[in-house]
Amino acid sequence: MTNTQVTLVQIDNYGPWTVTPEPRREVDLQTLQSRLYADLSQLVGDRGGYVFFTRFDNMIAVTNGLDMDDHAVIQESVGNRYPVSISLSVATGQSPAAALSDATERLQATGSAQDKSRREILEGRAIESDYRTDEDVHIAHFDVIDATGEYTDQLNAFDSFIEIEQGYAALMKYMRQENDALSFFVGGDNIIATCPELSAAEYEAAIDHVTAVADVDLRVGVGIGTDAHNAGMDAKHALEHARADDTKVEFLR
Amino acid sequence: MTNTQVTLVQIDNYGPWTVTPEPRREVDLQTLQSRLYADLSQLVGDRGGYVFFTRFDNMIAVTNGLDMDDHAVIQESVGNRYPVSISLSVATGQSPAAALSDATERLQATGSAQDKSRREILEGRAIESDYRTDEDVHIAHFDVIDATGEYTDQLNAFDSFIEIEQGYAALMKYMRQENDALSFFVGGDNIIATCPELSAAEYEAAIDHVTAVADVDLRVGVGIGTDAHNAGMDAKHALEHARADDTKVEFLR
Amino acid sequence: MTNTQVTLVQIDNYGPWTVTPEPRREVDLQTLQSRLYADLSQLVGDRGGYVFFTRFDNMIAVTNGLDMDDHAVIQESVGNRYPVSISLSVATGQSPAAALSDATERLQATGSAQDKSRREILEGRAIESDYRTDEDVHIAHFDVIDATGEYTDQLNAFDSFIEIEQGYAALMKYMRQENDALSFFVGGDNIIATCPELSAAEYEAAIDHVTAVADVDLRVGVGIGTDAHNAGMDAKHALEHARADDTKVEFLR
Amino acid sequence: MTNTQVTLVQIDNYGPWTVTPEPRREVDLQTLQSRLYADLSQLVGDRGGYVFFTRFDNMIAVTNGLDMDDHAVIQESVGNRYPVSISLSVATGQSPAAALSDATERLQATGSAQDKSRREILEGRAIESDYRTDEDVHIAHFDVIDATGEYTDQLNAFDSFIEIEQGYAALMKYMRQENDALSFFVGGDNIIATCPELSAAEYEAAIDHVTAVADVDLRVGVGIGTDAHNAGMDAKHALEHARADDTKVEFLR
């Protein structure tokens, strides 16, 4: 049984800021967003968590191992170094989607994402350390079978990207609807999902669905651990095994 | 008539590097990728261009205004500061998709993306300054109508993201197939496309397609200029007009 | 009695790298060095430590609270994201200077800073958690009395800097020779020193020495704590008190 | 005859910001400062200039090749990405010190560095392109003879640093007073100076002075060019020649 702790990271009042007093240079916005994401990756990653860039103005993190004080330090550090501030909402649930719904509702209850006076909210509860187990987090790491040979070295770079993007769009929707899992594109041909406990058959069904809908062939390695980093490293190793043995689903724990 | 100069940026032999000698920590990969993207945004942006993160290991840039020497400096600067190197391939065409196909083929001809000995390729040709015009680049900046009210403040953060992602997946495919345009998600509810010359009716058809297929309502501002920055700033202003007047397509030049 | 844990950070074979195969662009070296320092500040700072840029190729950190595993993760993270690697040597002593001498000797024993085959050394021992006390680290935060009124708003920017630099050069040497303390310029008119237990009179003597030798008037706040961050925040508050009350030496614990 | 264009970069109202509402975490300030410096190095460096970190809150740049519009873009880009803003003042003179004095006075005339209402000042004049020559900038690159063998591999890391720092303190003061040159420590055992036209004898005198006062033996390569980058690369090559031939002063142009 998983017990995923999810944190919603939302840049406060970001949309209005990007066009006030007039639209800001796109390259500066891109730089700001991607560096903020990189910094959060390090700040959360130093404590065993994973952050996903998602929409960049709304990011989703798996934060088992981070207590509310850790969240407060991260919020303060961003406030000290960026022209924008962030709100954080933390929740836990048996499925990642349930946890995120809870976290989102808590944040929405404090005001709109574009409410000028709603700043640096820190809401929710982290799992107390006594209640943590070594099965709390399940991470599934997907990639595209022979992406380089099939796409990167064959199609033009955008058409390769279309294939991967359609595969991702299909997988993220299926995994959310069927499994209450949250799936994130992380670059290259890689997708990382935070999942509840799922069987090999359920992973196979997801892969088959993507092949059917988007004609993209995926493979997955699954890891289980106390936090995203532990589970994620096992997932990477499982994926290496799947690649070596030419299998579609591999577990490691 | 547009004359878009497109640069394909490819990290050399990146996939193998990420798992050699064993899989590297995901947070470090995420940090590396997003910072490299931020740096390229600045390096290319300083000279009037736009870079899109695309797959992160393969990025696509609109580089009108950058000559081959500029590209060489950028390549050298990345090589001096990162553990990975990049290859660059530059081409021009009446449509962005044609330009990118040309650039991709030139790079593929030098070897595979995962060829160990293929490093720091610099291929292609930039537009000579005498041939540049103030209509070379068309940028279309899309966003989702009332994304905050409809999604961010209503749904959980992942379900909002699913909506935006499905809208993007539909738009990117349609614009590529119908218009030879390249469309990129740039964060929040924003998509930026580099386009050939298109009529208002053609933009409307794209928006209608996305509504029909993904049930997401878009709006677009279009700008025309000598380079991505000029055209892009006009597109942003056009989008502000569309928002203020509650219209779906606005041009500014 | 202090028990300062000091880590020497040395970029491996950096000098030769900067000129191989020919001299690299200075702006890239500056960017690389200052970002590496920024990243180390965050990585060490997340765990309660302070890093000082010192010579940039050799940095000195106060790392009470970081065990050897923490050091290993930091070393790995740098190796994953930079074109250069770092060696780390950790030691403890009643005076910071003694600890640093020990750490330096351990690293020198493994080979020269410019030895090609000496890479990613991780040497030394961290304090076991049972032996940590809340008096282990003493931080002294100095600044120049009325630096803005006396220098920044009066002299040209380099002549202001000369004054501050001469003040720093005098203080760093005195504190090392008389007190076995290590003092670091940290920007503006600020100098932060990691010290053994010193009396108010000893701090006054240091301030008087700098006035006599360099004609620069300093003030100092001193904090004591389990780690650099705790002690350093107290030192900052003590310095605010000194500023408010126009005194020269203030302690807080 | 040199015609150095110097830009003074000053963070607006920085001192008060660092302690408002209470002192900010030192590691965040260090990260902010060093990243701002890195970004300015890239922004100015992309256009052929050099920035020196100096005090971090006041930085000095050699900006031949950058016009006032370039300065405006840099100022805007920093404002878009940092919680602090910068003021820029540009001046030219036959000696770097004269240029900097002029730039400083212009900025001081607009208000104090700690004046809340003085923000994002952009003052001064850049050299018009018709008046630029290929002898405008002289860069001298100093390093310490056998620093690794004499210091890094022998002394403890702080005592090595004391030697280099005392050498720098002596050189910066001498070069300013005798030659109206501005000298900056740039990491390792390297000092880069922007100089008026000086003879080999004058450089030798500076080196002799540092040996006499601080017992540190320096060597220097000198380059001459249209901008800091051109002159600086020649200076680096000249320094390599000096190292190879065991000479103390080498020119290249």
Q: Residues C97-154: pLDDT tens digits? A: 999 999 999 999 999 999 999 999 999 999 999 999 999 999 999 999 999 999 999 9
User: Is A42 close to C42, i.e. CB distance below 8 A?
Assistant: yes
Contacts of B43 in chain D (CB under 8 A): 42, 46
Among A46, A73, A77, the residue with its CB nearest the CB of C43 is: A46
- Find tokens 């030394």 and name the residue: C124
C60-86 average pLDDT score? 98
User: Is B43 close to D47, i.e. CB distance below 8 A?
Assistant: no
- Burial group, residue B184, by CB count within 10 angstroms (0-12, 13-18, 19+): buried
Complex confidence, ipTM? 0.97
Taking CA atoms, what residue in C is nearest to B74? C28
Among B26, B60, B153, the residue with its CB nearest the CB of A232 is: B26
Q: Which run of H or of E encompasses D169? A: helix D157-179
Contacts of D227 in chain B (CB under 8 A): none
Contacts of D83 in chain A (CB under 8 A): 79-83
One pLDDT digit (tens) per residue for chain A, 253 residues? 899 999 999 999 999 999 999 999 999 999 999 999 999 999 999 999 999 999 999 999 999 999 999 999 999 999 999 999 999 999 999 899 999 999 999 999 999 999 999 999 999 999 999 999 999 999 999 999 999 999 999 999 999 999 999 999 999 999 999 999 999 999 999 999 999 999 999 999 999 999 999 999 999 999 999 999 999 999 999 999 999 999 999 999 6
Among C28, C29, C81, the residue with its CB nearest the CB of B32 is: C81
Q: For residue C94, what pLDDT is reported?
A: 85
User: Is D38 close to C42, i.e. CB distance below 8 A?
Assistant: no
What's the number of CA atoms in the CB half-sphere (13 Å) around residue C152? 27
Inform me whether the C-beta atom of residue B82 falls under 8 Å from chain C C-beta atoms. Answer: yes
Q: For residue D1, what pLDDT is reported?
A: 81
Residue A192 to chain D, least CA–CA distance (Å): 29
Residue A173 to chain C, least CA–CA distance (Å): 32
Inform me whether the C-beta atom of residue D47 falls under 8 Å from chain B C-beta atoms. Answer: yes
User: Is C42 close to D31, i.e. CB distance below 8 A?
Assistant: yes
CA distance B7 to B92: 9
Q: How many CB atoms lie within 10 A of CB D1?
A: 9
Q: How many CB atoms lie within 10 A of CB C124?
A: 21
C42, C46, C71, C80, best to mutate vs chain A, most A CBs in 10 Å: C46
Taking CA atoms, what residue in A is nearest to D36? A81
Q: For residue B94, what pLDDT is reported?
A: 85
Contacts of C73 in chain A (CB under 8 A): 46
Query: What are the distances in angstroms from CA D170 to CA D158, D175, D215?
Result: 18, 9, 10
Model confidence over C192-250: pLDDT tens digits?
999 999 999 999 999 999 999 999 999 999 999 999 999 999 999 999 999 999 999 99
- Indicate the average pLDDT of chain B: 97
Q: Where are the domains of chain C?
A: 4-131, 137-252
CA distance D99 to B129: 35
User: Is C39 close to A42, i.e. CB distance below 8 A?
Assistant: yes
Inform me whether the C-beta atom of residue D177 falls under 8 Å from chain C C-beta atoms. Answer: no
User: Angle at which helices D26-45 and C228-245 pack, to 10 degrees?
Assistant: 90
Taking CA atoms, what residue in B is nearest to C24? B80
CA distance C227 to C223: 10
Q: Are B96 and B4 in contact, with CB atoms under 8 Å apart?
A: yes
Taking CA atoms, what residue in A is nearest to B157? A104
Return the number of CB contacts < 8 Å for A and C.
Answer: 14
Please give the structure tokens belonging to residue C237: 């508050």
B94-113 average pLDDT score? 96
Inform me whether the C-beta atom of residue A122 falls under 8 Å from chain B C-beta atoms. Answer: no
Q: Are D68 and D126 in contact, with CB atoms under 8 Å apart?
A: yes
CATH of domain A4-131: 3.30.70.1230
Residue D68 to chain B, least CA–CA distance (Å): 15
User: Is A58 close to B157, i.e. CB distance below 8 A?
Assistant: yes
Inform me whether the C-beta atom of residue D9 falls under 8 Å from chain C C-beta atoms. Answer: no
Inform me whether the C-beta atom of residue D8 falls under 8 Å from chain C C-beta atoms. Answer: yes
Hey, what CATH class is C137-252 in? alpha beta
Model confidence over D9-61: pLDDT tens digits?
999 999 999 999 999 999 999 999 999 999 999 999 999 999 999 999 999 99
CA distance B5 to B237: 23
Q: How confident is the model at residue D127 (pLDDT cuts 50, 70, 90)?
A: very high
Contacts of C77 in chain B (CB under 8 A): 25, 28
Q: Are A220 and A228 in contact, with CB atoms under 8 Å apart?
A: no
Q: Which of B235, B252, B190, B195 is nearest to B216 (CA)?
A: B190
Taking CA atoms, what residue in A is nearest to C70? A46
Contacts of C18 in chain D (CB under 8 A): 188
Could you give the dihedral angle defined by the CA atoms of residues B63, B69, B74 and B75, in that order, rounded to the nearest 10 degrees? Answer: 110
Please give the structure tokens belonging to residue C211: 């006035």
Contacts of D43 in chain B (CB under 8 A): 42, 46
Residues 6+ away with beta carbon under 8 Å from A135? A1, A2, A3, A197, A224, A225
Inform me whether the C-beta atom of residue A46 falls under 8 Å from chain D C-beta atoms. Answer: no
Contacts of B79 in chain C (CB under 8 A): 83
Res. B253: pLDDT tops 90:
no
Among A28, A35, A114, the residue with its CB nearest the CB of B35 is: A35
Inform me whether the C-beta atom of residue C105 falls under 8 Å from chain B C-beta atoms. Answer: no
User: Is A43 close to C46, i.e. CB distance below 8 A?
Assistant: yes
Among D18, D23, D152, the residue with its CB nearest the CB of C233 is: D23
Among B24, B35, B81, the residue with its CB nearest the CB of C28 is: B81
Q: For residue A14, what pLDDT is reported?
A: 97
Contacts of C42 in chain A (CB under 8 A): 39, 42-43, 77
Among D46, D73, D77, the residue with its CB nearest the CB of B43 is: D46
User: Among B114-118, C60-64, D76-80, which is the least confidently predicted range?
Assistant: B114-118
- The alpha carbon of A183 is separated from its chain's Cα centroid by a whole number of angstroms, namely 6
Contacts of C77 in chain A (CB under 8 A): 42
Res. D94: pLDDT tops 90:
no
Q: How many CB atoms lie within 10 A of CB C240?
A: 17
Taking CA atoms, what residue in B is nearest to D76? B46
User: Is A38 close to B34, i.e. CB distance below 8 A?
Assistant: yes
Inform me whether the C-beta atom of residue D55 falls under 8 Å from chain C C-beta atoms. Answer: yes
Intrachain domains D4-131 and D137-252 with the same fold? yes
Res. D252: pLDDT tops 90:
yes
Res. C55: pLDDT tops 90:
yes
Res. C9: pLDDT tops 90:
yes
pTM for this entry: 0.97
Helices (H), D23-130: 26-45, 68-81, 96-108
B213-218 average pLDDT score? 97
Res. C253: pLDDT tops 80:
no
Residue B18 to chain A, least CA–CA distance (Å): 10
